[in-house]
Amino acid sequence: MSDDSDYKSLLSDLIRKQMVMLGPAVALSKARKVTGLSVDESGEVSAISGDPQEALKALAGEYMALSGQIAQMTLDSLLEKYPGIKKQNS
């Protein structure tokens, strides 16, 4: 498992991409529903409490519920930049 800074960066990247696709209000609202994530107005994840892999899974699930395969493809492309973080089998 990778360290928290990689997870914060990955989650922040994912939120920002969703802000472009879904709009900031929707993307931030979904991100803030994820237990353990602290997200600022710019989409930056400032803290993760609990298991970061579970936070990633929950955040991906929130976006998948809205935009399905598009969110999964976005996540998959971002994960390539973070080889220490394992991919989810969806």
Write out pLDDT tens, residues 31-75: 999 999 999 999 999 999 999 999 999 999 998 888 777 778 888
Burial class of residue 72 (count of CB atoms within 10 Å of its CB; 0-12, 13-18, 19+): middle
Question: First-to-last CA distance in the chain?
Answer: 19
Six token digits for residue 86: 């394992």
Token duo for residue 87 = 């991919």
Task: Give the pLDDT score at 7.
Answer: 95
pLDDT band at 2, cuts 50/70/90? low
Please name which of 49, 39, 47, 48 lies closest in space to residue 18, comparing C-alpha atoms.
39
pTM: 0.76
